[in-house]
């Protein structure tokens, strides 16, 4: 099976499809690991009458992983925010998996859409790049993830690709 996955990965994407995932390939900026595009956002609801606690998040991965803990362990969310890399943020979230908000599985796609929308709205150069994809199908092409990605062979759910296409439509509709 692994041989098949490698062959699929090494093939070009189907027509009208953009694959993204690898650091040194086009469209890496569509991943949540792309550095250089910090996001300003508040993940906690402010007390009534107080301003939101807006913080800077190094990558969209930092913000997404921290959101898992906003209601259960905000101190873990803050540790994640301070991680030096997106990989470190992911690993820290995995380390504290037992403290993830119990409702996470029912809201994770909605949170991802909020994170990605913030990323692209706050960085016009990224919004332009996303809009330039037109109506092409966007696929996080990796055998490492069958939920956010396509599983490397098309069997995955490609939720990150769907989120990006939704954000692209939002950007187009609000121009």
Tell me: the pLDDT tens digits for 13-24?
888 999 999 999
- Tokens 């069958």 locate to 146
Q: Is the pLDDT of residue 129 over 80?
A: yes
Domain count, the chain: 1
Q: Is the pLDDT of residue 112 over 60?
A: yes
CATH of the domain at 97: 1.10.357.40
In angstroms, the Cα distances linking 10 to 16, 27, 30, 152, 159 are: 17, 16, 20, 10, 22
Q: Is the pLDDT of residue 46 over 50?
A: yes
User: Rounded to two decimals, what is the model's pTM?
Assistant: 0.91
Domain that residue 122 falls in: 2-173
- What's the pLDDT at 70? 92
Across 156-160, average pLDDT: 98
Across 8-37, average pLDDT: 91
Q: Which residues on adjacent β-strands are paired with residue 137?
A: 17
């Amino acid at each position: 099976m692994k041989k098949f996955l490698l062959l699929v990965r090494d093939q070009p994407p189907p027509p009208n499809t953009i694959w993204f995932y690898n650091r040194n390939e086009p469209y890496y900026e569509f991943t949540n690991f792309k550095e250089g595009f910090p996001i300003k956002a508040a993940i906690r609801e402010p007390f009534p009458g107080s301003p939101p606690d807006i913080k800077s998040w190094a990558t969209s991965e930092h913000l997404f992983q921290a959101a898992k803990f906003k209601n259960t362990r905000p101190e873990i969310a803050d540790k994640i925010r301070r991680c030096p890399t997106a990989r470190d943020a992911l690993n820290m979230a995995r380390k504290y998996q037992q403290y993830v908000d119990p409702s996470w599985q029912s809201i994770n796609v909605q949170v991802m859409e909020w994170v990605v929308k913030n990323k692209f709205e706050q960085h016009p150069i990224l919004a332009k790049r996303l809009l330039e994809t037109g109506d092409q199908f966007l696929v996080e092409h990796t055998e490492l993830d069958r939920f956010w990605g396509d599983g490397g062979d098309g069997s995955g759910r490609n939720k990150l690709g769907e989120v990006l296409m939704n954000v692209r439509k939002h950007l187009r509709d609000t121009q």
